[in-house]
Every structure is written in structure tokens, then in C-alpha cells.
Amino acid sequence: MTDANVVSIDSMTVRYGRNVAVDDVSLDVPRGTVYALLGRNGAGKSSLVRCLVGQQKPAHGRAILFGEDVWTRRAQLMERVGIVPEEADAPPEMTVHELSKFCGEIYSRWDHNAVRDRLSRFAIKPDARFGTLSKGQKKQVMLAMALAVSPELLVLDDPTLGLDVVARKSLFDEVISDLADRGTTTVITTHDLAGVEALADRVAILKDGRLVLDEPMEALKSRFRRIRFPYAAVALAAGNLRTASVTQWGGGTEAIVSNYDDVVFERFRSAANVTHADVSPMSLEEIFIAVAGEEVRS
Amino acid sequence: MTRTLSIAAREIRERSFVFAAAGIMAVIPFASALLPYARTTGRTQIISVGGLIVSIGFTFALALVLGGSFVGRELAERRLSFYFSKPVSSSAIWFGKLAGALMTIAACFAIIFVPSFVAARRFWTPNWSSSPASFIVAIVATAVCLFLLAHVGSTMVRSRSPRVALDLLLLCVTVGAIWLILRPLFASLAMQLASDLAWSIGTAIFVAIVSAGWWQLARGRTDIQRSHAELSRFLWASVGAVVTAAALIVAWVFSAGPQDIDIKVAYQNPRGDWAIVRGPAHHRGDYEGIFLVNLTNGKAKRLEEGRFRGGMFTRRGDAAVSIAPFDLDKALVGRVQYVEGELYVERLDAPGSRSATGIRIQSIYATVAVSDDLGRVAIVERGLLSVHDLSRKALLGSVRLPENVYEMFFASPDVVRVYSFDKREVNRPPVGTRAYEFDIRTRRLQRTGEVQPLAVPITVSADGTTALLRSKGTLVVADARTLAQRFAIAVKPRNALFLGNGGIAVLDLSNDNASVRIFDAQGAPVRDIALGPATFGGIREIVANKKLLAAVQRGGRYLDDENPRGWSLYVIDLEKGVVERQERDLALRSQFRSLSDPRQADLAPVTQFVVADASGKFWRWNALTGERKKVFG
């Protein structure tokens, strides 16, 4: 880990009885990065996030925030971290105002005005009881609270879960706005891949508890391509092109290549005498499905 | 601290609705007092009793509900992350939540209880056995215990972990271990020490539970499985340490040897070579050690079962007899005096021979006599005389006695003689004394004599033929079998015994002055030896040939008065009629208990006695030389 990394996870394993939820995962989140941690349900994202913020002790390994072990220094480190949990955990009988007031007593720095402004933008009344709010409003309140400490690290654990399109957009807009203002390091787990695609600098994918991918968004998107050969069955392996999936249909072939390079592909096409080939970039969602979802396809 | 208080305040606000509920409950006693039947019962009484019942019921129920939910439910519902995602320590979370919940419970109790207490104060005050403050503290303390137990139970159950089975097992082991630790203290009648230890264990476990809650949150945080695991680990480790410490304390208590006790009571056997001593052990509360001590070599052995009925020697002092509860657990949960006991007999000339006779005795206060050959034992309880063979552990015969037994002995190996009270009316003093003989061979009970009015046998000659009776303030010399008077001596006897030459020695305490009066075998006076002012005392034993030991007390009333001050010991030369030796402020602790056998011992004279001096120290005192030696060693 270097000082440039806000988050470092070192060989972390999380077990529940005999089940391994997170299996020997190591990763770093550089300062100012928006880090998207993706994975299917049960991939181990929430377990990893709970360990990341010191709420759970891993069976092995450790999480480092700002250079300090989060398990032993959680209380101090949480001054610098804003968290939006997967399930809104604020007491349901508290009003939004009481919640803000309580947090103001807990945190050494707390921006009541920022909370008020954001709640106003979200059209949430301060005297509304937390338990009476809609799911989207609860997430918005939690986000307002998380941002009120001007966090150096923002952890969003599936913040858009169960939200409608409008609420999702509103929430992401707020995050983007904050990022634009302060460049907060952000770790986000989500199933809303389209939403996070525009946000994330770096992407990691957990699959069955193991980290199968961890790289910058641009690099990821540049190396994944969908290639269609409409008239021929083509063996891409001969061209040093690694395929994430290959589908034969009619007389043609569709392949998803995970190490696409223009030069290499042109060399392959010449060598294989392939005249017709459609190469198209892939969205994050398509890449995710290719990497994490092949058992569904099979 | 600020964060702890903030959390406590938030917890209280979260449950503020229970205050409204408590307010409604507070009205119930007053509303009940308005019902029609209240006129006959008394409105004040209804308000006070109602307030008590409602406040206690609501408080205890609230304690259980809050204890079961304040951490356990939030863990199960994954809401505890609300606190853990904030810059607050685990200590602040635990103690803040704990303080909030406890203050809520206390406030609800006050909301319900105080109005009824104030309104019915006049009824309460005279009916309380303890102060209101201690009463309130007891209720709140109970509520806190219920709260913590509910918390522990809730965490364990809500985790749905197989570890619960281990918790239950350890709970059973703990309860069993505590019982096994306290049991010997109760068995030794060290009730205060047992009580103090039980309170200490309880307090330590209370602290352990509170600390375990903190440890649970500090180490388990939002993971309910781990939370349960950490709670169990800390709790059972702490409880294990507490139980181990308690066990070590009890082991230390029972490690007290004879040298560690302040002898309070000593029973010396008639032969003078053994004593049963007992007394409080140093720094061990009310625990009293009881030992069988060989006065010849100072060696001692513990005699715990003697606590239930002292220790007793047979007439010749050749065996120690004790009764221990047959079922100790039953004894401890029931009333000790109504518990079955088992008779133990130890032959003093065969060390280590102590054996359970297998004879069960319904009451530890049964009357017991052992034959001179130590082969048989006679027991009277609840009016039933039974005779057992000790070697065969067999019942030889039994018979129901018509009256209450006073004393008895084996007149021969096959005949038990019983002196009983003739009680004509229930709950009236006895009006006469009767003698019976039970022949074991024929299993017949025969009345052999009667004397009216009541004549208390002072002693019976060693051969069992002649008895000295105290009757109507005079000394009567009678046939021991028929109680037929042979002659009377006009003396007011406090105590008397037969001398070796057939004469009789009497301690007379008339006019608060003690004198030993000697009579010949026909009752003719021989000489009087004045001892000085005294209000109590006794002739203890023949010290040596033609010498007598008398113990008298000025101002005392009981032979076993613990204070040696005021006691004087006199060694009297019977032939010369003089006091050969006088020891002031020295009390005899040799009481020569010999079960219920009234016969004198036909033994060699005893010269060595266990005594206590004015400072409370015990000595082996030589009556002929005045030399004092330590009791032990």
C-alpha cells in the first residue's frame, strides 16, 4: 500500500461457517478514484464492504483506510468516511432533523446547512420520520448524511437498490456533483452498471468471492470487444485473441474478446483471410455479463 | 463521554412511547380504588398494593423486552451498523445503549410507583419490613439482572447458531459447579460465608455479563454470529474464572487445620485422651472447623459431619459417634433438623475405622446410646426405640415407647434401660419419671419402676445399679432399675457423682455460695469444703484417686458459657478436705459428653483437661501440676 491509496485490502478472506464469502481478495483504491466493485448477488460485495468500514472482522487479512487498520481504528477513521449502506439502517422513529442533529453531536465536523440544502433538493421535509420515507428518500437522506461530514472516502453499498429510474438519477447526480466539487474517493458497489459506468474510474468484479478483474474503466472498455463474423466460423485463438465467450450461429460466429487490440486483430484478419467482421465496443454491463455471468448463459 | 450520553439520550427518545404506557399503567391503581369493592377492602390498600403489583410487573416485563431487543434485535435486523458507521467507539455504543435502556426502565418504574407510593404512604410505611430505599433498590436490581439475562439469551437465540447448545451445556455446568462449591459451606453450617460467597459470585457474574456485552460489540460488531461467539467466549471464560476463584476460596476455607481455629467448644472423652474441638477458623467468616484430636500426640482429623450434631463419645470414651445428613442436598434445600441422618461410629483405638453404619435416623436430634462393647446401638426417635447390630448392620428389635425418653443406656448387651417422662397431658410439664427395660431377645418392653413427682437422674453408678436423682430439691439415692428410693440426703444438689469408695460428692450452690459436700455410702455427711461465691458450676470428674475437680462460676448460668472470666477450677483433696489447687478465670472445656448414657465412666482417673483461659486460648491443663500445654502439637 502507498500513501496514494485511500483503501487497501490485503489478502482478505471472509467466512460464514464453511462458506467462503470473500476469498483472498487484495485491492487498492487510489486517492480521488471512483472505484466500482461489481458482482452478482452473493458474490461477496457487502461482506467486503462491511470489512472495509470496520463493521466486520475478516477471517484472514485486513483492510487499511488512510494507512491505518480499520478494525482497530474504526471509531477514529469513521470521522473521515461517509457511508450509504445497502439497507437504510437509521432508526425509523427518528425524524430527519433529529437524525441530522444526532449525527451533529457524534461527528466533530458536521455541516447542517449542507444536509438542509440536499434535503431541500430532494424535497424531503425535516420533520418527516425516517420510517415513513420511501426507499428512494431513505437513500437520499442517508447520502445527505454521508456527505455532511465532507468525507475523504465515500462508501456506497448498492445505493440504487430498489430505486426507480428518477430516484437513481437524482442520487447519482448528487454523487457526481460532490465528486466534481471535492474529488472524494468513492467505493461503490452496485447492480446499476449503466449508472456507474459514467462515474467509475476503476472497476473490480467479484465472482464467487474471488476478485476476477480489477483495472481502470478505460483500459477495461478498450480491451473488451464484441466481434461478429457473419459468414464464417472463425477460430480466434489462432490470432492470440482471448475470448470470454464464443457463440456459433447460422454460418457465422460471435465472440467477445477480452484482449482486443487493433493491430493484433488486423494481423489476424489478414492471416485468416476474413473479409467481413463487425467489431463493436461493449458497455460495462455487457462486459460484466461476459466476465461474471457465463454460467447463466450456459 | 459526550457520545455515550448522546447515544443514551437517543435510545431513551427512541423508546419514549413506553413512558406514555407507564403513565397509563400508573392510573390503574387509582382507577381500581374507585371500583365498588374498594370500600370494603380499603382504597389506600388497593392503591398501594395495586401500585406495587403494576409497577413491578411492568418494570420486569419492560426489562425483559428491552434486554431482548436493545442489541439482539438490532443485530438480527442489521440496524446496529447505524452506530458502527459513525465515529463512536464500541464502549460508547454499549454503555450508551445500556444506560439508555436502564434509565428507561428506572423512569417507568418511578412513573408507576411514585404516585401510588405518595398517595398511600401511610399504608406502606408500617407494612414494610425494610426501608423504602432498599425495597426500591431490590426491585431495580432485579430488573437490571432480568434485563442483562434477556440480552444474553436474546443474542444467543437470535444468532440461530449451534453454539446455543454449548451455551446451554455451559450454563448447566456453571449452575452445577456453583452448587457444588457452595454445598460444603452450607453443609458445614457456614451460612454467612456461603451467602457472602454466593453474593460475590453473583456480583462477579453480573460484572462479567456487562463486560461481555461490551466485548461482544467491540469484537463482534454487526456480525451476529461473531457477536454471539464473542459474547459466549468472554462470558464463559469470565464465569469460568469466577467459579474457579470461588472453588479455590472454598478449598482454602476447608484447608483450615486445627491450628487455624479459635477453639470455642471442646468435648473431651471420659478417658481423657481424645477431644472433639470446634471453633471459627481464622479469616474464614463463620466457618467453624471441627476436629477429632488425639490429646496424647496432638494429631487431628477433620470431622465435618459432626457439625450436624456436635461429636459425641461413648461412655468409656473409646468411640466417637456422629450423625451426618443422609441426603445432603435434601438437607440443604429443606429444614436441616428434619432430614434423615446416618450414624457414623469411629473406634478411637483403631484410627481410620470411622464407618457409616447404614443406620438412618429421621431426626438429627434422636437419642442415641451405644453398648459398652461398641457392638450395638439404641436409637429413640419419634417415640420408637430401635436396637441395631453395628457389625451386621441389622435391626435387632424395636418397640414404641409410651413416653418421651430422657436418657438410656445398655444395662447389658441385651437390655436397654430407658428413663422417660410420664407426661399425663400434652403441653404440660412431666409429672413423674419412669424406668423401662427393653429386652432385645424377647423384644419386650417392661416398666421397671416409677417415681413421683418428677425426679431427674443426675448420674448412674458405673455398674448401672444405683442412681442419683434430683427430686423436690433434695438428692435421692435410688435403685437405678426400679427407681425405688433407698435414702434421701438433705442437700440441694447442683451436681453429684459417685466416688470410688462408694461415697457421694455433691456440689451445693445454696445462697449463691458453692461448697462440695461429701457423704458416705449410706448418706451420712463426711465433710464440707467451701469454695466461695458461685451461681453455677459442676463437679467434673475424679482427677486422681481421692481427688475431685469442681468448676464453678460466679454470675454465670450455663456450663458452656463461652466467657472463661468468672470461672474457677478447684482441685479438692477429699481425704484432707482442702482445696489443693485453685485456678481463676480458667474454664473447663471438657464436658464429657457421652451420648444419652447417664452412667459414670469406670475408668482410670483423668488428670489432663482441655481448658480455656481469660484470653480465650485453649490449653491442655494438668490438674495435678497446673501445667498448661498447647492443645495441638
Examine the pLDDT at B354 and tell me if it is beyond 70: no
Sign of the C-alpha dihedral computed for residues B442, B447, B448 and B454 taken in this order: positive
CB contact under 8 A, B82 and A83: no
Examine the pLDDT at B591 and tell me if it is beyond 80: no
Rounded Cα gap, residues B542 and B524, in angstroms? 20
Rounded Cα gap, residues B363 and B381, in angstroms? 7
pTM: 0.76
Of A89, A90, A105, the CB nearest to B78: A89
Of all residues in chain A, the one with the smallest CA distance to B8 is: A102
**Which residue type is seen at A232?**
A
Query: Where is pLDDT greater, at A135 or A48?
Result: A48
- DSSP secondary-structure letter at B345? E
Is beta strand B608-613 parallel, antiparallel or unpaired with respect to A210-216?
Answer: unpaired
Rounded Cα gap, residues A187 and A28, in angstroms? 11
Q: Which residue has the cell 413421683?
A: B452
What mean pLDDT is reported for chain B? 85
Rounded Cα gap, residues B567 and B551, in angstroms? 7
Which of the residue ranges A81-90, B194-203, B353-362, B568-577 would you say has the lowest mean pLDDT? Answer: B353-362
- DSSP secondary-structure letter at B258? G
**Closest listed residue to residue A117, CA positions, set A76, A147, A161, A151:** A147
CB contact under 8 A, A57 and B2: no
Size of interface A-B (CB pairs under 8 A): 71
Examine the pLDDT at B574 and tell me if it is beyond 50: yes
Q: Tens digit of pLDDT for each residue in A181-236?
A: 777 899 999 888 888 888 889 999 999 999 999 999 999 989 899 988 877 766 77
pLDDT for the residue numbered B84: 93
Report ipTM (2 d.p.): 0.87
State the pLDDT confidence band at B477, using cuts at 50, 70 and 90.
Answer: very high
| Share above pLDDT 70 across residues of chain B, in percent, rounded to a whole number | 89
pLDDT for the residue numbered A296: 37
Q: Which B residues in the span 219-248 are in contact with A, Cβ-Cβ below 8 Å?
A: 219, 221-223, 225-226
pLDDT for the residue numbered B305: 55
CB contact under 8 A, B87 and A57: no
Which of the residue ranges A173-187, B15-29, B572-586 would you say has the lowest mean pLDDT? Answer: A173-187
- Using DSSP, state whether B155 is helix, strand or coil: helix
CB contact under 8 A, B219 and A75: no
pLDDT for the residue numbered A1: 47
pLDDT for the residue numbered A295: 46
Examine the pLDDT at B322 and tell me if it is beyond 60: yes
The answer to whether B162 contacts chain A (CB < 8 Å) is no
- DSSP secondary-structure letter at B281? B
Distance from CA of B7 to the nearest CA of A (A): 8
Rounded Cα gap, residues B45 and B53, in angstroms? 12
C-alpha cell of residue B433: 419419671
- Using DSSP, state whether A208 is helix, strand or coil: coil
Q: Mean pLDDT, to the nearest integer, of B415-432?
A: 77
Of all residues in chain A, the one with the smallest CA distance to B223 is: A56
Rounded Cα gap, residues B496 and B395, in angstroms? 36
Looking at A148-283, list the stretches that DSSP marks H as alpha helix, in order from N- to C-terminal side: 165-182, 193-197, 217-223, 262-272
Task: Identify any residues that bridge with B435 across adjacent strands, giving them in sequence order.
Answer: B419, B449
Query: Which chain A residues touch B90 with a CB distance below 8 Å?
Result: 75
End-to-end C-alpha distance for chain A, whole angstroms: 39
Rounded Cα gap, residues A47 and B427, in angstroms? 82
pLDDT for the residue numbered B326: 63
Q: Mean pLDDT, to the nearest integer, of B584-602?
A: 75
Query: Which chain B residues touch A17 with a CB distance below 8 Å?
Result: 225
Q: Which residue has the cell 416398666?
A: B447
pLDDT for the residue numbered B329: 65
pLDDT for the residue numbered B519: 93
Distance from CA of A83 to the nearest CA of B (A): 7
Phi, psi of B615 (to 5 degrees): -85, 0
Query: Which chain A residues touch B214 with a CB distance below 8 Å?
Result: none
C-alpha cell of residue B571: 482441685
Which whole-number Å values give the CA distances from B146 to A13, B63, B409, in the listed order?
A: 38, 6, 58
Rounded Cα gap, residues B630 and B47, in angstroms? 66
Q: Tens digit of pLDDT for each residue in B7-46?
A: 999 999 888 899 999 999 999 988 888 887 777 777 788 8
Q: Tens digit of pLDDT for each residue in B493-536?
A: 888 888 888 889 999 988 888 899 999 989 999 999 999 888 77
Confirm if A39 and A207 have CB atoms less than 8 A apart: yes
3-class DSSP string for B290-323:
EEEEECCCCCEEECHHHHHCCCEECCCCCEEEEE
| Share above pLDDT 90 across residues of chain B, in percent, rounded to a whole number | 39
CB contact under 8 A, A106 and B13: no
Rounded Cα gap, residues B292 and B296, in angstroms? 12
C-alpha cell of residue A2: 502507498
pLDDT for the residue numbered B404: 80
Phi, psi of B320 (to 5 degrees): -105, 135
Percentages (nearest 5) of helix, strand, coil residues in chain A? 35, 30, 35
The answer to whether B130 contacts chain A (CB < 8 Å) is no
**Closest listed residue to residue B468, CA positions, set B435, B449, B447, B493:** B493
**Closest listed residue to residue A206, CA positions, set A51, A62, A46, A45:** A45
Q: In the sheet where A153-157 sits, what is the strand order?
A: A81-84, A153-157, A185-189, A34-39, A202-207, A210-216
Contact residues of A toward B, CB < 8 A: 16-17, 50, 53-57, 74-79, 81, 83, 85, 87, 89-91, 93-94, 98, 102-103, 105-108
CB atoms within 10 A of CB B175: 10
Looking at chain A, list the stretches that DSSP marks H as alpha helix, in order from N- to C-terminal side: 45-52, 74-77, 96-106, 112-122, 135-147, 165-182, 193-197, 217-223, 262-272, 284-292, 294-297
C-alpha cell of residue B176: 452445577
**Closest listed residue to residue B440, CA positions, set B479, B387, B480:** B387
Task: Identify any residues that bridge with B477 across adjacent strands, giving them in sequence order.
Answer: B468, B487
Rounded Cα gap, residues A67 and B164, in angstroms? 38
End-to-end C-alpha distance for chain B, whole angstroms: 61
Q: Tens digit of pLDDT for each residue in A141-154?
A: 999 999 999 899 99
Confirm if A278 and A246 have CB atoms less than 8 A apart: no
Containing H/E element for B505? strand B504-508
pLDDT for the residue numbered B164: 94
Looking at B221-287, list the stretches that DSSP marks H as alpha helix, in order from N- to C-terminal side: 224-254
Distance from CA of B233 to the nearest CA of A (A): 16
Examine the pLDDT at B599 and tell me if it is beyond 80: yes
Q: Mean pLDDT, to the nearest integer, of B216-228?
A: 91
CB contact under 8 A, A93 and B78: no
Rounded Cα gap, residues B67 and B155, in angstroms? 10
The distance from CA B6 to its chain's CA centroid, rounded to whole angstroms, is 52
Q: Tens digit of pLDDT for each residue in B248-294?
A: 999 999 998 888 888 877 778 877 888 888 888 889 998 888 888 88
Distance from CA of A211 to the nearest CA of B (A): 23
Rounded Cα gap, residues B178 and A25, in angstroms? 47
What mean pLDDT is reported for chain A? 87
CB contact under 8 A, A94 and B89: no
Q: Which residue has the cell 450456459?
A: A298
Rounded Cα gap, residues B220 and B90, in angstroms? 10
Phi, psi of A136 (to 5 degrees): -65, -40
CB contact under 8 A, A83 and B85: yes
Of B10, B78, B223, the CB nearest to A102: B10
Q: Mean pLDDT, to the nearest integer, of B162-188?
A: 91
